C-alpha cells in the first residue's frame, strides 16, 4: 500500500480541522495544510471562517496562506504533479520527461488541464537527488522517473484511478545507504540511550555530549553541548525541543534516510535533550516534501509511547515527561533557518527573526528552545548510549565523529555515505564511482563549489563545512547552467523580508538569464560581484548571505563557462530594441525589413 493518500484524508470540514489543532492560531500552517489536503485548495472564502475559528485577523491568515508554495487558492485539479527542479533532476532528464508527460496529458505546465483533471509544474528540490528525476503527486514522492514510469502515471491519471489504488512500487523510496558507520551501521535498541542517561544523570550526559565534541550537523557546526547548556540555564516555564527536519538544501537527502529507517535514534536524541534542558514538549518540523514519511513517523511515536519511551514518567523515572508532535512544512526552503522554522511552527510566514535573542533563550512561543538537525539528535543518542570516547576518536580534532553525505549526480553509486570527518573530496568521489568529476557542489547551493583542482580539500568544519550535499558534475556539464539553476532557486525561495535578498536574488537571476540568452557582457559580471557584496554584508540571514556564492564561485573557478556567453567586451543593454518593436509589428501586421531595426 502506498502511504496514506492525501486525497482521502478528511472531509473539508473546517471546524473539525481547526478543532483538531486546538483552534490555536499558532497551528495555522498545520490547519492550512489539512484544509489544502482535504479540499484540494485553500479557498479565499475559507479564510474568513478560519479567521473566526482561530480568532485572528483574516489578513494574518492570508499572509501565511500566500507565503508557502504548497498552498493555493485556485484548484490544481484532481492530480497535482510537481517535478523536482534541482540541477541534478535536470541533468537526469527532467525537462524532457516533464514535456513528455504534458504531451501525454494534453496539458501546459503551470495550468490546470481543460477538464480540470491534472496540473503539472515544477517545485524546488524534493530530497530525492539520489533517485532523480523525481516528482510529487498530490504531495507524495515518486522517485526514479523514466519514460515507462511516466507512461504508467499518465495512464493512472487519465483513468482517474484514486491515488490509494496506485501501484505501491511507484512510491517506494530506497534508502541507498552505500556506506554505514557507527551511526547507521550498528544496531540500536530503542530506550538504550535513555537508560544509559538515567543511570548517569542529565548533567553527566551533557558532559558526555561536550566531551564528544559534537557540532551541529545542519552545516553551521555550533557546539551542541553549548546550545543545550545555555538552554538548560535559560529561564522559562515551557522549554522545548525542536527537530529541524526541513531538509531543503538542494542535493541533501540524508535526513530522509534517518527519518525513514532510524527514526528511533532521532527521537531518542530529542528525548535525551528534553531531559537535559528540562523540556516536556518536542516538535518535529518535517518538510512538506517528506509527507510520505509522516504515517510511519506517527507510528514510531505511538510505539514509543506504548513502550514507555515517550509520555509521562519515561522509563519509570518520576517526572520525566516528554512528548512529541509532528508539524509539516508547506514548501518553503527558508524554514530550514531555525528562527524562520520557529515562526512557521507558530503559524506565521517563515521569515527569520531578528537575533539576539537566540532560540536557546527565546524560541518557540517565546520559551527557551533547542533547535537541532535530525542528524545531530541521532549522534547525541549514540553518544548518550555509548559514551564520548569513540565519537571523539573519529574525524578530526575540530570535527569529531562521522558525517552523513548525500551523494548525487554524475557517479555510479549515488546515495548516503557515512564517512569520518576529514575525508577528502577525492576519496568520496572514488568511493561513489565518479570517474570524470569536474566539480562538486559541497553542501548545496549555499555551500561551496569545489573544482577539480581542489579535490584534496576535506569535508570538515575547518575546511568544507557541509550539511551533507555532495553533487557531482562531470566534464560535460555546464557549470554556468548549474549556477543559473541555483540563482533561480534562491530567487524563488527568498522570503522577501529584507531588501537586499528580496531584490538582489531577482537581479542575479535576471542577469544570469541575460547571459544565458547570449546578451551578457563583462559589465554584467561586475554587476553580479557588486550584488554579491551587498548580499553578503546587508542581508538578514544565511540565505541572502550565500545566495550569490554559486555565481561568484563558478565565475572564479570556471570563467570559460561565462566568457563564451559574453556578447561584447563592454556593455550590452538588458533590453533589445528590436524586440521592443514586436507589439507594434503585430498591431500593424508587418514583418518586413523596414519594420526591424538593423542588427549591428
Partner 1 sequence: MSAGTFTLDGRAIPFEEGQTILDAAAAAGVDIPHLCHLPGLAPHGSCKLCTVSIGGRLGAACTNRAAAGMTVESETAELNAHRLTLVQMLFVEGNHFCPSCEKSGACRLQETARRLGMTTPHFTHFFPARDLDASHPDVVLERNRCILCELCVRASRDVDGKNVFAIGGRGIRARLIVNSASGRLADTALSANDRAVEVCPTGAILRKRVGFAVPIGRRPYDRHDIALSLPTRRGEGAGGG
Contact positions toward partner 1, by CB under 8 A? 44-45, 47-48, 56-60, 62-63, 66-69, 332, 349, 354, 491-500, 502-507, 510, 530-531, 533-534, 537-540, 574-575
User: Considering the complex, what minimum distance in angstroms separates the CB of residue 330 from partner 1?
Assistant: 11
Distance in angstroms (rounded) separating the CA atoms of residues 181 and 186: 7
Element (DSSP H or E) covering residue 491: helix 479-493
Compute CA 439 distance to the chain's CA centroid, rounded to the nearest angstrom: 22
Return the number of the residue (279 or 532) whose C-beta is nearest partner 1: 532
Residues in Cβ contact with 302 at an 8 Å cutoff, skipping those fewer than 6 apart:
none
Shortest separation between residue 44's beta carbon and partner 1, angstroms: 7
The Cβ of residue 187 has, within 10 Å, a number of other Cβ atoms equal to: 5
**Choice between 357 and 387, CB closer to partner 1:** 357
Cβ distance to partner 1 smaller for residue 228 or 333: 333
Minimum CB distance to partner 1, residue 481 (Å): 22
Residue nearer to partner 1 on the CB measure, 365 or 436: 365
132 vs 507 by CB, closer to partner 1: 507
Instruction: Give the Cα separation of 483 and 547 in Å (integer).
Output: 10
Residue 292 or 485: which CB sits closer to partner 1?
A: 485
Residue 236 Cα distances to 21, 227, 341, 366, 566, angstroms: 24, 15, 20, 9, 58
The nearest distance, CB 317 to partner 1, in angstroms, is: 41
Rounded to whole angstroms, the Cα distance separating 475 from 458 reads 21
> How large is the C-alpha radius of gyration of the chain?
25
Q: Report residue 474 as a C-alpha cell.
A: 562531470
> Checking phi first, is residue 282 left (phi over 0); if not, alpha (psi -120 to 50) or beta?
beta
- Could you say which DSSP state residue 84 is in? E
As measured in angstroms, the least distance from the Cβ of 501 to partner 1 is: 8
Nearest to 447 by CA among 503, 411, 406: 406
Nearer to partner 1, 303 or 502 (CB): 502
Give the span between the Cα atoms of 598 and 588, in whole angstroms.
19
Nearer to partner 1 among residue 275 and residue 488 (C-beta): 488
Please, what is the minimum distance in Å from the beta carbon of residue 478 to partner 1?
24
Is-contact 241 282, C-beta < 8 A? yes
CB half-sphere exposure, 158, CA atoms < 13 A:
13
Nearest to 411 by CA among 470, 352, 455, 354: 470
Whole-number minimum distance, CB 530 to partner 1, in Å? 7
Residue tagged 561568484 (cell numbers): 552
- Which residue number, 305 or 365, has a Cβ lying nearer to partner 1? 365
List the strands of the sheet with 177-179, edge to edge: 177-179, 415-420, 402-409, 469-474, 437-442, 448-451
Cell of 99: 514535456
Q: Measured from the CB of residue 347, what is the shortest distance to partner 1 in angstroms?
A: 13
**Nearest approach, Cβ of residue 181 and partner 1 (Å):** 37
d(CA 415, CA 408): 7
Residues 6+ apart with CB under 8 A from 297: 259, 263, 284, 286, 326
Q: How far is the CB of 551 from partner 1 (least distance, A)?
A: 16
Rank residues 390 and 502 by Cβ distance to partner 1 and give the closer one: 502
- Paired with 119 in beta bridges are 80, 112
Report cis status (omega within 30 of 0) of the bond before 8.
no
Q: Is residue 240 a contact partner of residue 282, using CB atoms and an 8 Å limit?
A: yes
- Cβ nearer to partner 1, comparing 208 with 540: 540
What's the min distance (Å) between Cβ of 31 and partner 1?
A: 17
Minimum distance of partner 1 from residue 306's CB (angstroms)? 41
- Please identify, using beta-carbon distances, which residue of 58 and 436 lies nearer to partner 1: 58
Amino acid at each position: 500500500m502506498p502511504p496514506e493518500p492525501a486525497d482521502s484524508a478528511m472531509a473539508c470540514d473546517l471546524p473539525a480541522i481547526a478543532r483538531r489543532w486546538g483552534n490555536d492560531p499558532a497551528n495555522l500552517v498545520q490547519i492550512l495544510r489539512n484544509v489544502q489536503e482535504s479540499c484540494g485548495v485553500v479557498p479565499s472564502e475559507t479564510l474568513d471562517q478560519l479567521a473566526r475559528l482561530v480568532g485572528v485577523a483574516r489578513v494574518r491568515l492570508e499572509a501565511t496562506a500566500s507565503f508557502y508554495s504548497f498552498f493555493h487558492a485556485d484548484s490544481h485539479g484532481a492530480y497535482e504533479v510537481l517535478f523536482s527542479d534541482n540541477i541534478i533532476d535536470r541533468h537526469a532528464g527532467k525537462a524532457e520527461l516533464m514535456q513528455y508527460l504534458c504531451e501525454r496529458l494534453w496539458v501546459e505546465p503551470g495550468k490546470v488541464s481543460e477538464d480540470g483533471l491534472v496540473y503539472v509544474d515544477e517545485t524546488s528540490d524534493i530530497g530525492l537527488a539520489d533517485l532523480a528525476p523525481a516528482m510529487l503527486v498530490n504531495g507524495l514522492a515518486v522517485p526514479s522517473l523514466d519514460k515507462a514510469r511516466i507512461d504508467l502515471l499518465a495512464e493512472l491519471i487519465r483513468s482517474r484511478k484514486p491515488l490509494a489504488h496506485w501501484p505501491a512500487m511507484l512510491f517506494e523510496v530506497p534508502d541507498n545507504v552505500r556506506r554505514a558507520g557507527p551511526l547507521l551501521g550498528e544496531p540500536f535498541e530503542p530506550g538504550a540511550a535513555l537508560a544509559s542517561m538515567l543511570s548517569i544523570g542529565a548533567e553527566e550526559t551533557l558532559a558526555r555530549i561536550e566531551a564528544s565534541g559534537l557540532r551541529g550537523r545542519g552545516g553551521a557546526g555550533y557546539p551542541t553541548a553549548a546550545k543545550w547548556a545555555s538552554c538548560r540555564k535559560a529561564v522559562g516555564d515551557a522549554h522545548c525541543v525542536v527537530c529541524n527536519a526541513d531538509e531543503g538544501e538542494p542535493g541533501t537527502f540524508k535526513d530522509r534516510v534517518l527519518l525513514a529507517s532510524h527514526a528511533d535514534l532521532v527521537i531518542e536524541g530529542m528525548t535525551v535533550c528534553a531531559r537535559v534542558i528540562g523540556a516536556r514538549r518536542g516538535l518535529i518540523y518535517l518538510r512538506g516534501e517528506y509527507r510520505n514519511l509522516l504515517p510511519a513517523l506517527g507510528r514510531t511515536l505511538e510505539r514509543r509511547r506504548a513502550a514507555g519511551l515517550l509520555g509521562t514518567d519515561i522509563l519509570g523515572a518520576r517526572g520525566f515527561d516528554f512528548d512529541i508532535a509532528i508539524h509539516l512544512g508547506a514548501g518553503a526552503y527558508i524554514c530550514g533557518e531555525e528562527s524562520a522554522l520557529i515562526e512557521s511552527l507558530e503559524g506565521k510566514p517563515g521569515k527569520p527573526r531578528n537575533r539576539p535573542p537566540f532560540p536557546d533563550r527565546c524560541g518557540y512561543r517565546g520559551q527557551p528552545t533547542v533547535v537541532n538537525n535530525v542528524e545531530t539528535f541521532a549522534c547525541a543518542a549514540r553518544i548518550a548510549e555509548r559514551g564520548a570516547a569513540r565519537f571523539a576518536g573519529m574525524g578530526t580534532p575540530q570535527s569529531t565523529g562521522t558525517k552523513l553525505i548525500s551523494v548525487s549526480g554524475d557517479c555510479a553509486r549515488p546515495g548516503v555515505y557515512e564517512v569520518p570527518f576529514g575525508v577528502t573530496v577525492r576519496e568520496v568521489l572514488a568511493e561513489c564511482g565518479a570517474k570524470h568529476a569536474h566539480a562538486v557542489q559541497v553542501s548545496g547551493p549555499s555551500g561551496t563549489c569545489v573544482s577539480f583542482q581542489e579535490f584534496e580539500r576535506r569535508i570538515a568544519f575547518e575546511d568544507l563545512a557541509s550539511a551533507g550535499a555532495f553533487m557531482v558534475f562531470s566534464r560535460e556539464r555546464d557549470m554556468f547552467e548549474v549556477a543559473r539553476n541555483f540563482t533561480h532557486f534562491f530567487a524563488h525561495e527568498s522570503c522577501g523580508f529584507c531588501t537586499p535578498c528580496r531584490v538582489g536574488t531577482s537581479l542575479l537571476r535576471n542577469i544570469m538569464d541575460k547571459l544565458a540568452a547570449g546578451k551578457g557582457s563583462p559589465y554584467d559580471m561586475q554587476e553580479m560581484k557588486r550584488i554579491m557584496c551587498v548580499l553578503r554584508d546587508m542581508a538578514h540571514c544565511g540565505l541572502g548571505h550565500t545566495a550569490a556564492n554559486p555565481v561568484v564561485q563558478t565565475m572564479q573557478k570556471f570563467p570559460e563557462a561565462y566568457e563564451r556567453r559574453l556578447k561584447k567586451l563592454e556593455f550590452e543593454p538588458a533590453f533589445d530594441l528590436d524586440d521592443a518593436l514586436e507589439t507594434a509589428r503585430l498591431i500593424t501586421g508587418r514583418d518586413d525589413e523596414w519594420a526591424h531595426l538593423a542588427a549591428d
